[in-house]
């Protein structure tokens, strides 16, 4: 296995020797962390980035960290509710002096899948399955809304029409009869003429009727 030699640097008081433990040597590791727009909930959580077991301040962006040249272990996961962490991914990268090792992390579309970490570009794990589940959910929701709309609209109208037609003739006859009865009872009784006096027909039909004479007297005759 070939070993990368450090760059030549003369020793002098103005140029102290390189200290790999302090990350000197001009190497950098850059990790770009992303999540899919469909998994927008992950934006509420801050990803955890570890290089060689040490926490590095990170977020959903590009994070650069100076390191010593050589191999480094990079680990990324997302703290979550249940389970406590999701999308764990890790890899080993060789950092060269004066260069930047670019890595890209993409969060999974489903909580039970692992994340993707490696040289860019990476793919979102479970993207196809998540899109299929999303389309199925949308189709089921649309079908449910259409079913509720159709059951509540035309069916209620047909039911009203059936109720009207089933009780139509009887109700119509009853209504007409009630109207006639009310009109007959409400009509004023006709007047009957008897010897110059006008008497209501109701009085004449009661069994006895009276005729008023011109002198103010009365005369009683038989009933009607």
Tell me the per-residue pLDDT of 154-210, one tens digit each, with 9 for 90 and over.
455 455 445 555 555 555 444 444 444 454 444 455 544 444 444 454 444 445 555
CA distance 153 to 159: 10
Q: Locate 198 and state its tokens.
A: 């006008």
- Per-residue confidence (pLDDT) for residue 110, from 0 to 100: 93
The C-alpha angle 186, 187, 189, rounded to 5 degrees, equals 120
- Per-residue confidence (pLDDT) for residue 222, from 0 to 100: 54
Cβ-based neighbours of 189, under 8 Å, separated by 6 or more:
200, 201, 202
Mean pLDDT, the chain, rounded, equals: 74
Catalogue all structural domains in the chain, each as residue range(s) with its CATH number.
20-126 (2.60.40.1120), 189-220 (no CATH)
pLDDT of residue 50 exceeding 80, the answer is yes
Per-residue pLDDT tens digits for 71-86: 999 999 999 988 899 9
115 close to 77: Cβ distance less than 8 angstroms: yes
Is the pTM higher than 0.75? The answer reads: no
- Per-residue confidence (pLDDT) for residue 13, from 0 to 100: 42
First-to-last alpha carbon distance for the chain, in angstroms, is 139
CA distance 8 to 26: 13
CA distance 152 to 181: 40
Q: Among 81, 82, 89, which Cα is nearest to 48's?
A: 89
Q: Locate 184 and state its tokens.
A: 């007959």
Cβ-based neighbours of 222, under 8 Å, separated by 6 or more:
208
């Amino acid at each position: 296995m070939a070993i990368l030699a450090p760059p030549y640097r003369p020793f002098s008081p103005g140029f102290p020797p390189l200290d790999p433990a302090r990350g000197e040597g001009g190497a950098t590791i850059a990790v770009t962390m992303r999540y899919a727009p469909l998994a927008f909930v992950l934006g509420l959580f801050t990803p955890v980035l570890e290089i060689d077991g040490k926490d590095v301040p990170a977020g959903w962006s590009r994070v650069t960290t100076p390191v010593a040249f050589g191999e480094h272990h990079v680990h990324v996961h997302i703290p979550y509710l249940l389970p406590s962490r999701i999308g764990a991914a890790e890899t080993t990268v060789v950092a060269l002096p004066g260069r930047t090792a670019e890595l890209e992390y993409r969060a999974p579309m489903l909580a039970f899948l692992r994340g993707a970490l490696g040289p860019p570009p990476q793919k979102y794990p479970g993207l196809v399955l998540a899109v299929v589940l999303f389309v199925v959910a949308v189709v089921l929701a649309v079908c449910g809304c259409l079913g509720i709309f159709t059951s509540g609209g035309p069916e209620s109208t047909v039911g009203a029409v059936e109720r009207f037609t089933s009780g139509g003739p009887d109700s119509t006859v009853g209504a007409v009869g009630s109207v006639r009865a009310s009109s007959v009872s409400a009509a004023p009784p006709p007047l009957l003429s008897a010897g110059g006096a006008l008497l209501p027909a109701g009085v004449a039909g009661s069994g006895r009727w009276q005729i008023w004479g011109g002198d103010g007297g009365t005369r009683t005759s038989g009933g009607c």
